[in-house]
Amino acid sequence: MIRNTSLWGTWKAELSNIIHDRSVMLVMIGGILFYALLYPLPYQKNVPGQQALAVLDQDRSALARQLIRMADATPQLRVAAVPQSMGEATVLLENDVVHGLLVIPANFERDVYLGRPVNIAFAGDASYFLIYGNIVEGLLKATTTLSVETQIISSFRKGSSPANIPGEIMPFRMSPHGVFNPTGGYINYIVPAVFVLILHQTLLIAAGTVTIKDRARRLSGLVTTPLRQALSIRLVTFVFAYLILALLYFGFFFQLYGVPHAAPQFALIGFSLLFLTSTTLFAILLGYLLPRPELTTVIVLLSSLPIVFTAGFAWPASNLPEWLDSLTMMIPAKPGIQGFLSLNQMGAPIQSLTSEIAYLSGLSLFFGLGILLLAMSERRRSSNRMNAESAARSY
């Protein structure tokens, strides 16, 4: 075994291990580009259009029919069915014939004109948040408009002045505008968070695989570089390689798909370096915990969906059990996703990300200490084994 202790020699050896490993290069280059081009394809229509609505009319009055026409006239809704019973309506929802159900109760018209409170029930498929929100928005428009019309008619009957009626009925107007998702589309909602997850997961596979194979070579006595130098250079190499890929994601691909982004360049680069450092250290630690390189891919595949649903963008983190929220913060993807969304999509200043920065810094320190302990332990075991074999041969 020829031992090369120069920094340049160590870097060349590390770079050679990465470049000549087809599985690693496939994940780093092929996987990143493949996901960037393939994942947004199902969301190309971007904005949810008119959604199919079923209306269960239990009143069958003129006012109920007017509400149905108003709902059908909104840009968000299309009345696709008028079932005769709740059972029939439930079947339509379960079979995805419609995504929403409006129930107009009996005595609806009578109670409205008598000024009694009326509860209009709505049921919807909340599996798709933007579709669900679209249906709710359309129903709010229709019911609010009908409510205003009926109040105006009641005011006329009471002899109110026509000039005062608009201010009495609607003293203020609501004009909703999406701030962080101006188009109300899927790409702006899902792609920024999933791109961070893709960087995280592919980095775990690539750096973890390189570490496991390097361990195997060292145990076989085939390595020519010092371990401490190799780990340091591996960390730096993967961080800067993925920094280029992250800027490609947050720059070129965000522009390609029209995703809004508001982070200053230096803040984005600084947070990216911290996130990638923590993730690379996590990957190297996994490389010391797992016996075979293919297990990194298995762990990544099994963990992807749980990370998505606990990261705080698909489901509010505040609604998670406290123990689960705390446990998932041990994975760099979660504080990373929350930090990137706040910084790049919501325009938050870097100073407001103290929690995410503290978590990623703490994780980096924790993973680094874990690597140090495991590497030293494995080095001692390997040295003892080699000494024992040498002694046995001498005997």
| Helix extents (H) in 158-258 | 165-169, 186-219, 227-247, 254-257
Number of H helices, E strands in the chain: 16, 4
Cβ proximity of 142 and 74 under 8 Å: yes
Q: Report CA-CA distances (Å) from 8 to 104, 210, 235, 240, 242.
A: 76, 19, 15, 17, 21
Closest CA to 190 of 313, 47, 29: 313
The ranges assigned to domains in the chain are 7-42+185-394, 51-169
Domain spanning 51-169 has what CATH number?
A: 3.40.1710.10
pLDDT, tens only, 253-285: 888 888 888 888 899 999 999 999 999 999 999
pLDDT, tens only, 338-385: 999 989 888 888 888 999 999 999 999 999 999 999 888 777 766 666
Residue 54's SS3 state is: strand
Judge whether residue 147 has pLDDT over 70.
Answer: yes
- Bigger pLDDT: 261 or 200? 200
Cα–Cα distance measured from residue 96 to residue 274, given in angstroms and rounded to the nearest whole number: 44
Residue in the block written with tokens 């019911």: 143
| 51 φ/ψ angles, rounded to the nearest 5 degrees | -105, 140
Which of the given ranges, 47-51, 53-57, 279-283, has the highest pLDDT on average?
279-283
| Residues facing 81 on adjacent strands | 54
DSSP 352: G
Cα–Cα distance measured from residue 130 to residue 215, given in angstroms and rounded to the nearest whole number: 47
Question: And the tokens for 3?
Answer: 């031992």
Question: And the tokens for 181?
Answer: 């998702």
Q: What is the pTM for the complete model shown?
A: 0.75
Residue 177's SS3 state is: coil
Q: What is the pLDDT of residue 184?
A: 64
Which amino acid type is present at position 274?
Answer: L
Cα–Cα distance measured from residue 255 to residue 232, given in angstroms and rounded to the nearest whole number: 34
DSSP 124: E
Rounded to the nearest 5 percent, the helix, strand and coil shares of the chain are 70, 5, 25
